[in-house]
Structure 1
């Protein structure tokens, strides 16, 4: 136990800090735009930001049906949703060659046995 104390007393950290630790006297806390911001300017207010913001579509709806709130109307009120030509919403709508194949009894048995039925 004494040997450990001697070793710890001689230990020096590998990191060396240059200079004395000082807290800056003047720190600028004023808000500023992020350096990678495309506009390099801050919005005037949060309300003006929300007018232009998009999250899966515009956050602001001018239609009276939506009353300016997300979720104020049911999804059916948005109108029918149809996929474009060549696009499908479900795998079952694909042509037969791209649909899921049914498992055979041998495959089901192999899966349930963990593959042991293939060698028995």
Structure 2
């Protein structure tokens, strides 16, 4: 316990700040356009922004305007088949890309932590 006190007394921070800590007298909190904004203009209101916003699809679709989860049947959302060249599961891929079956030797090696390979 005494050794810890001795070590802490000589501690010097590695970061050195220049100057005195000063809080600014005035801070501007007015809204500003983000520098990477495509149109360099603030929206008039949040409602107008939401009409144009996209998040995983358009937010202003009128058929989803019920405001309730499940207000629209799932069949109206579109097809659930994967497009050409797309697959939902690895088992749907061509045989050469599917998972290989484990051999008994591989199963034994995993269960023994690899020790059975060298015994």
Q: Please indicate the TM-score interval, normalised by the length of the shorter structure.
A: 0.7 to 0.9
Structure 1 CA distance for aligned equivalents of residues 54 and 60 of structure 2: 8
Q: How many residue pairs were aligned?
A: 108
Distance (Å, rounded) in 2 between the aligned partners of 1:99 and 1:22: 62
Over the residues paired in the alignment, what is the CA RMSD in angstroms? 2.7
How far does residue 34 in structure 1 lie from its aligned partner after superposition? 1.2
Specify every segment of 5 or more residues in structure 2 that has no aligned partner in the other structure, as ranges: 1-5
> For residues 28 and 68 of structure 1, what CA distance do their matches in structure 2 show?
40
Q: How far apart are 1:68 and its partner, in Å?
A: 4.7
Match of 2:42 in 1: 42
Larger radius of gyration: 1
Structure 1 residue ranges (4+ consecutive) displaced by more than 6 angstroms after TM superposition: none
| Aligned mates of 1:70, 1:57 — CA distance in 2 | 17
Structure 1 unaligned spans of 5+: none
